[in-house]
Structure formats: structure tokens, C-alpha cells
């Protein structure tokens, strides 16, 4: 009897196994080339126009459109430029709507809206990899694509009264035979301190425990209106120097302060560890200075740059209100500086934006000098304002190191080298895009993924050098945790600009832009096999043709969740689609 029951049990289990396998096979079906052709067919529901991009195809400014970034500083390491920026972030009202209609002081504040430091990097100045944002001091996170509990847990500095991290300055040097990276920042206008890391993208640590590097108790700093906006430089002997200060309330400066010499500028030599002061900070004369101290060592000369205040016009140097001015020293960071000259006009006057302040940094990359600065042009393309994004333009110097005043451009810097498709590339390396955002993910290659993918969204990278030819493509994607989901990526090269393309006027809610067309070279299916939901998978496909030479490359997305209204603001529901992590071509 026992043997009979055992046989019945085994037979039943075998039947159940067959049913399970049959059901699984019925649930999962390979996506065919014919399926994917239909996904991207405009006669079958694919949108006639792709998502708006907020940056004209072919342009490099602003450098990123999936997130804001203000008060830029630059660091060059291993032939790569790293930008560190105040992370301007959307604020929401009690109903979940973004403050954007008036952007008054009551609805938006830099105190709540600058949420940590955002990091981008590039090997060519036009394709920028997003490394996300990190939390030095708070404030609370309002980006729905970032987990607020994780954001709070990652806060580096826990000091009473320290709750802002604005306008960073970056440097690196060899210490004990290893590269060490330093990022200085301002606690609003109330002090300056530093975080450190062993790589330019972190992880960052706070080396000073319960104290700040510079406060109002630091000698010669109690009478500075704003203790903020650090700039850092390392001289030819490896010594570090920090510049900071600002403000135009000359009544706090004491005797002798005027609008021509506000006596707000400070500078100090750092100890070899770069996290302590070698001496007391000293006051020095910076004509008509208001904020935005930065200093760069270019060609053995030291270029100190700053923003003038709003009572500057009519001065003997020809400086305007709120322009970026510079002075040059040929004999060290504390040497004799030239009289100031204008290097960059105010964006409001040069680009017709509604910008209120000015902040930038000079840097040298591959033998050429550049300036990075912020404007509100991206926000205004979205139909809002106050939020700022970084731009880069080329600088021209004569043989004496004198800089021509730089025109602010919408096209931006030219590409400095080509992108290699045969190495693993991060999907969040972007030249221009439409409809997507990025978000942190601990399992992703760069701890960041492309997210908010809807049908008709896209990402483009400029100047990809396929050399003698590619015939295969691989992508790493994250499958969403939902049943019966299907996605796809269409690979195109060399599209056309569509919509507004004028280099002399700004985008806005009416003047919109995107791409169209381009040659299709392949398609990538995205569908979960049993057990793959919520996981990262690698998909490899043969291309439709061998691709050679230098081309702009586009990833156009399809999602079975359909076309959604144009996404201007990060929206948590868009994480329901697949997410894009990395890609690579093969010969």
C-alpha cells in the first residue's frame, strides 16, 4: 500500500512539474525582430516625435539636462574632467507640485533646494557621465528617485548648525605615495570645511570630526560677511592654498572698507595634509569682489577669478555688475596680481536668461583652457527658472596669459577626443537626451542607472569611433519587478535635429527641440525570463550591419507601459519600466 501511495505521489509531482514547465514556457516568449519592428512603428502607436531634449542636438551646453548643477568647480585627473556642483533640486509644495510658477523666495530657497554635491565626469567635454549626488550635510532630500532614508543615512557631517554644502572646490595631490582627493565647501555663508576620498568619485569621508576647517572663530574671519565659496590651488612645489569669503555688507568689515575694496576676501596656506591651516588667514585686496572665489594654475600662472557685486559699474577697470573678473600672478598664489579684467559677462545680459548670480571656474584640459559656469537656461527651457545648470566654453589666451573676454555660447565646447564603443560604457554617459533621468542603484556598474524610461525617450552620445567596424552589441539592463513587461532599445546613428535649432535664441515652453530619424543599426529586446524580474541581465544582439567610422549614437526606448506625458520633473512612478546600466559594442 505504501509503495502504491508513493507511486501516486511521484506521478502527481511529475504531472505538476510538466504543468509548471509548460506554463513557464507559455509565459515567456522570445521577442522577435518582427516584434521589435512593430514596437517602433509609428503606425502602431510609437510616437511620431521623440521626447523633447531641452538642449539642441549638436550643442554641448548645458553639459547635462537630466539634473541641475550650479557653482561648478573642476578637477582634471587621468585625462578626465570631474565637475562638482551645488545640487540644485526641485522643491515641492504640500500637494506634490514643483515650485516653478513664480519661484519667489517664499516658494524656493537655496537653503532647502541645494541638496548635496552633484558629480559629473567626461573624457571629451561633450559626453558626461553622471555619478549622482552625495550628502555632506543635508538638507532633506526631495527627489522622488532618491530614497530619503538612504540619503539621510549617508550624511557625512553631524555638527550643530552645519546643514548646507554649497559651491565646492576640488583638488588632488599625492600623499604617502597615493592620490588623495579633497573637496572644500561652504556651510551657506557661515564657514568652510573639507571632505576627502581616495578616488575622484568617492566614497567621501569627513576627516575633522566635530569641527569645521574655518569658522567665525578662525582668526581674521569674524568680520567677513559671507564665509563661503572656497577656491583651492596647489602650486608647483605641491603646496595647497585656500581662497574664500565674500559679501557686500561693508559695515561688518570694519574701518576702511568701501565698495571698491570690501575687505571680504581671504586666503590661507594649507598644511601638507590639505585639511588643516598652516597659518592664520589673511585679508587681501580684490577690487569690487562679491563672491565666487576660484583659482587655477594654468601654464605656471595663477588665475584668481571672482564675481563682482552689483555696485561695480563706473570703476576704473571697466568691470560690470556681477561679471566674472580675473587677476593673474606669475610669482605664486600669494604673489603680485595684475589689475582685474572681465573674463565672463553675466548670463542675463549675454544669453537673455533670468539669472541672478554668477559663478565659474577655469581649468586646463588636453592643453586647452576652458571655463565652466552656470546659467538658468535649462530651467527656462522647461518653462521654469531659478534652478541652475553648468555650461563650458573655450578660453583664448595670448602669449602673456591675458584672456580674451569669453562669449557665453549655447553650442559650448568642441568635442576633445572620441568615445570608444569597445569598452564598457555607462548608460548614464550622455551627450543629449530626451525624457530620462538617472538615479542611484547599489548594484549598478557606476552605482547609477538611466531611469524614467518611457516609449519615445532617448539618449545620445556624440562622436563614437567605431573604427574598422562593429557587428555585435551588448547592454546591461534592469528588468522591472512586474509581470508581462516588455521593453526594447533601438540603436540609431546620425539623426537630425528637430524643432528649434537656432544657436542665437533660447529654448522655452514654445520653442522646443528633439531629434528625428537616423539609421537603425539594431534593436535590443528587454523581457524577463523566469527568475529575472528585478535583476540586472546582459542582452547581446547582432547588428543589422557592420558599423564603421565616427558616428553619433542614439538609444531610442520602447516600454510596454506606453507613451507617458512629457516628463519635466523626476517622478517615482517612472521606475516601473526597465532601467539601463551599461553598454558595449564588439567587433
pLDDT for the residue numbered 572? 56
* Same-domain status, 233 and 381: yes
Q: Which residue has the cell 559594442?
A: 585
Q: Is residue 64 part of a domain?
A: no
Q: How many other C-beta atoms are found inside a 10 Å radius of the C-beta of residue 77?
A: 14
Instruction: Quickly count: other Cβ atoms within 10 Å of residue 230's Cβ.
Output: 28
Residues 377 and 427 in one domain: no
Structure confidence at residue 96 as a pLDDT band (50, 70, 90): low
Q: Which candidate in 248, 291, 393, 457 is catalytic?
A: 291
**pLDDT of the residue at 144:** 86
* pLDDT per position as a tens digit, 170-187: 999 999 999 999 999 999
Q: Is 303 a member of any domain?
A: yes
- What value does the mean pLDDT take over residues 11-31? 53
29 falls in which pLDDT band (50, 70, 90)? confident
Q: Which residue has the higher pLDDT, 566 or 205?
A: 205
Residue 71 designated active-site? yes
553-574 mean pLDDT: 79
In the block, cell 574655518 appears at: 214
For the cut 90, the answer to whether the pLDDT of residue 386 exceeds it is no
The pLDDT confidence band at residue 15, using thresholds 50, 70 and 90, is very low
More confident residue, 542 or 93: 542
pLDDT for position 22: 43
Model confidence at 26: pLDDT above 70 = no
**Bridging pattern class, strands 240-244 and 231-234:** antiparallel
User: Mean per-residue pLDDT for 481-492?
Assistant: 94
N-to-C CA span, the chain: 65
DSSP class of residue 92? B
Residues 40 and 74 in one domain: no
The phi-psi region of residue 426 (left if phi > 0; otherwise alpha if psi is between -120 and 50; otherwise beta) is: beta
Residues 185, 132: Cα–Cα separation, whole Å: 17
Q: Cβ distance 351 to 344 under 8 Å?
A: no
- 244 and 357 share a domain? yes
**310 or 95, which is more confident:** 310
Do 205 and 158 share a structural domain?
A: yes
Alpha-carbon distance of 160 to 180, in angstroms, equals 28
Determine, yes or no, domain membership for 406: no
* The pLDDT of residue 563: 84
Q: Which of 71, 88, 124, 552 is catalytic?
A: 71
pLDDT at 86: 98
Asked if residues 126 and 64 have their Cβ atoms less than 8 Å apart, the reply is: no
Q: Are residues 176 and 307 in the same domain?
A: yes
User: Phi, psi at residue 157, to the nearest 5°?
Assistant: -115, 125
Q: Please tell me the predicted confidence (pLDDT) of residue 383.
A: 84
DSSP state of 136: S
Q: What is the mean pLDDT of residues 520-530?
A: 95
Burial 165-187 (b: 16+ CB within 10 A, else e): bbbbbbbbeeeeeeebbbbbbbb
pLDDT > 70? residue 25: no
Most confident option among 1-10, 106-115, 516-525 = 516-525
Q: Three-state SS for 110?
A: helix
| Cell output for 541 | 544582439
- In angstroms, what CA-CA distances link 30 with 23, 34, 37, 217, 238? 15, 11, 14, 68, 59
C-alpha–C-alpha distance, residues 250 and 567, integer Å: 45
Asked whether residue 318 carries a pLDDT value surpassing 80, the answer given is: yes
Residues 470 and 385 in one domain: no
Judge if 382 and 427 occupy the same domain. no
- Does 339 map to a domain? yes
Q: Which residues contact 555 (CB under 8 A, 6 or more apart)?
A: 427, 458, 459, 460, 489, 490, 491, 580, 583
Listing from the earlier edge strand, what are the strands of the sheet with 389-394?
360-365, 368-375, 389-394
Query: Which of 394, 427, 452 finishes a domain?
Result: 394
Three-state secondary structure string covering 438-458: EEECCCCCCCEEEECCCCCCE
Which of 279, 390, 402 has its CA nearest to residue 338? 402
From the list 478, 485, 587, the residue with the least C-alpha distance to 538 is 478
Q: Quick one: pLDDT at residue 329?
A: 97
pLDDT recorded at residue 385: 80
| Per-residue DSSP letter, 194 | E
Question: Among 36, 62, 128, 95, which residue's Cα sits nearest to residue 427?
Answer: 128
Percentage of the chain lying above the pLDDT 70 cut? 91
Pairing of strands 437-440, 470-478: unpaired
Q: Which of 360, 378, 394 is the last residue of a domain?
A: 394
CATH code where residue 555 lies: 2.60.120.260
The Cα angle at residue 526 between residues 524 and 531, in degrees rounded to 5: 140
Using CA atoms, how far residue 295 sits from 86, 137, 159, 238, 337, in Å, is 18, 25, 28, 15, 12
The answer to which of 18-32, 71-85, 160-174, 329-343 has the lowest mean pLDDT is 18-32
Same domain, 118 and 177: yes
Q: How many domains does the chain have?
A: 2
The span from the CA of 323 to the CA of 573, in Å, is 42
Average pLDDT over residues 9-24: 47
Give 212-270 pLDDT, tens digit per residue: 999 999 999 999 999 999 999 999 999 999 999 999 999 999 889 999 999 999 999 99
In a domain? residue 24: no
Measured over the CA atoms of residue 535, residue 541, residue 544 and residue 548, the dihedral's sign is positive
Determine, yes or no, domain membership for 403. no
Which domain range does residue 491 map to? 31-54+418-586
Give domain status of residue 20, yes or no: no
Task: Specify if 492 maps to a domain.
Answer: yes
Statement: residue 138 has pLDDT above 80:
yes
Of 29-38, 117-126, 127-136, 552-561, the poorest mean pLDDT is in 29-38
291 classed as catalytic: yes
CA distance 397 to 395: 7
Mark which of 394, 429, 451 sits at the end of a domain. 394
Give the pLDDT score at 103. 46
Structure confidence at residue 20 (pLDDT): 44
Kindly state the average pLDDT of the residues 146-171: 96
Q: To which H or E segment does residue 307 belong? A: strand 301-308
> pLDDT band for position 23 (50/70/90)?
very low
Grid cell digits, residue 370: 576652458
pLDDT at residue 106 in the model: 43
Q: Domain check: are 45 and 76 in the same one?
A: no
pLDDT range class, residue 414, cuts 50, 70, 90: very high
Contact 429, 461 (CB under 8 A): yes
* 161 lies in the same domain as 186: yes
pLDDT at position 97 is 65
Is 47 in the same domain as 161? no
Residue 291: CATH number of its domain: 2.115.10.20
CB of 307 closer than 8 Å to CB of 359: yes
Decide: pTM greater than 0.85.
Answer: yes
Distance CA 53, CA 514 (A): 5
Mean pLDDT of the chain: 92
pLDDT at 566 over 80: no
Residue 12 has pLDDT above 70, yes or no: no
Amino acid at each position: 500500500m505504501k509503495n502504491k501511495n508513493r507511486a501516486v505521489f511521484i506521478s502527481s509531482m511529475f504531472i505538476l512539474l510538466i504543468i509548471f514547465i509548460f506554463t513557464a514556457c507559455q509565459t515567456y516568449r522570445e521577442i522577435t525582430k518582427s516584434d521589435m519592428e512593430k514596437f517602433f512603428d509609428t503606425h502602431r502607436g510609437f510616437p511620431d516625435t521623440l521626447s523633447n531634449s531641452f538642449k539642441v542636438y549638436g550643442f554641448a551646453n548645458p553639459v547635462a539636462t537630466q539634473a541641475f548643477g550650479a557653482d561648478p568647480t573642476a578637477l582634471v585627473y587621468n585625462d578626465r574632467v570631474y565637475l562638482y556642483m551645488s545640487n540644485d533640486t526641485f522643491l515641492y509644495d504640500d500637494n506634490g507640485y514643483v515650485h516653478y510658477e513664480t519661484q519667489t523666495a517664499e516658494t524656493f530657497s537655496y537653503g532647502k533646494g541645494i541638496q548635496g554635491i552633484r558629480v559629473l565626469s567626461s573624457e571629451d567635454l561633450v559626453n558626461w557621465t553622471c555619478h549622482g549626488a552625495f550628502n555632506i550635510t543635508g538638507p532633506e532630500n526631495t527627489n522622488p528617485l532618491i530614497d530619503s532614508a538612504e540619503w539621510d543615512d549617508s550624511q557625512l557631517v553631524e555638527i550643530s548648525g552645519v546643514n548646507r554644502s554649497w559651491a565646492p572646490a576640488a583638488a588632488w595631490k599625492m600623499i604617502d605615495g597615493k592620490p588623495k582627493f579633497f573637496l572644500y565647501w561652504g556651510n551657506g555663508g557661515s564657514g568652510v570645511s573639507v571632505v576627502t576620498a581616495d578616488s575622484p568619485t568617492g566614497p567621501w569621508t569627513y576627516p575633522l570630526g566635530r569641527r569645521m576647517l574655518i569658522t567665525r572663530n578662525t582668526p581674521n574671519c569674524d568680520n567677513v560677511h559671507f564665509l563661503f565659496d572656497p577656491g583651492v590651488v596647489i602650486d608647483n612645489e605641491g603646496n595647497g592654498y585656500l581662497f574664500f569669503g565674500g559679501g557686500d555688507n561693508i559695515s561688518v568689515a570694519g574701518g576702511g572698507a568701501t565698495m571698491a575694496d570690501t575687505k571680504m576676501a581671504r586666503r590661507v596656506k594649507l598644511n601638507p595634509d590639505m585639511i588643516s591651516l598652516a597659518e592664520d588667514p589673511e585679508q587681501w585686496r580684490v577690487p569690487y569682489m562679491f563672491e565666487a572665489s576660484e583659482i587655477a594654475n594654468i601654464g605656471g600662472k595663477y588665475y584668481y577669478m571672482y564675481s563682482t557685486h552689483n555696485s561695480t559699474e563706473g570703476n576704473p577697470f571697466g568691470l560690470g555688475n556681477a561679471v566674472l573678473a580675473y587677476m593673474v600672478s606669475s610669482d605664486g598664489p600669494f604673489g603680485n596680481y595684475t589689475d582685474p579684467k572681465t573674463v565672463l559677462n553675466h548670463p542675463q545680459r549675454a544669453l537673455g536668461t533670468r539669472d541672478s548670480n554668477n559663478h565659474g571656474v577655469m581649468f586646463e584640459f588636453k592643453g586647452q583652457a576652458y571655463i565652466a559656469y552656470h546659467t538658468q537656461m535649462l530651467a527656462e527651457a522647461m518653462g521654469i527658472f531659478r534652478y541652475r545648470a553648468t555650461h563650458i566654453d573655450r578660453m583664448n589666451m595670448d602669449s602673456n596669459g591675458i584672456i580674451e573676454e569669453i562669449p557665453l555660447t549655447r553650442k559650448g565646447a568642441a568635442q576633445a577626443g572620441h568615445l570608444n564603443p569597445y569598452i564598457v560604457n555607462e548608460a548614464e554617459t550622455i551627450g543629449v537626451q530626451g525624457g530620462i533621468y538617472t538615479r542611484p542603484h547599489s548594484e549598478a556598474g557606476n552605482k547609477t542607472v538611466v531611469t524614467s524610461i518611457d516609449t519615445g525617450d532617448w539618449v545620445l552620445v556624440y562622436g563614437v569611433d567605431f573604427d574598422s567596424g562593429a557587428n555585435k552589441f551588448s547592454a546591461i539592463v534592469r528588468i522591472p519587478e512586474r509581470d508581462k513587461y516588455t521593453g526594447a532599445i533601438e540603436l540609431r546613428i546620425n539623426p537630425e535635429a528637430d524643432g528649434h535649432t537656432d544657436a542665437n535664441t533660447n529654448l522655452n515652453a514654445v520653442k522646443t527641440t528633439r531629434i528625428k530619424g537616423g539609421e537603425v543599426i539594431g534593436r535590443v529586446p528587454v523581457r524577463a525570463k523566469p527568475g529575472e524580474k528585478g535583476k540586472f541581465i546582459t542582452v547581446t544582439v547582432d547588428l543589422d550591419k557592420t558599423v564603421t567610422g565616427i558616428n553619433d549614437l542614439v538609444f531610442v526606448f520602447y516600454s510596454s507601459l506606453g507613451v507617458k506625458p512629457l516628463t519635466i520633473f523626476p517622478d517615482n512612478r517612472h521606475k516601473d519600466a526597465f532601467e539601463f546600466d551599461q553598454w558595449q559594442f564588439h567587433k
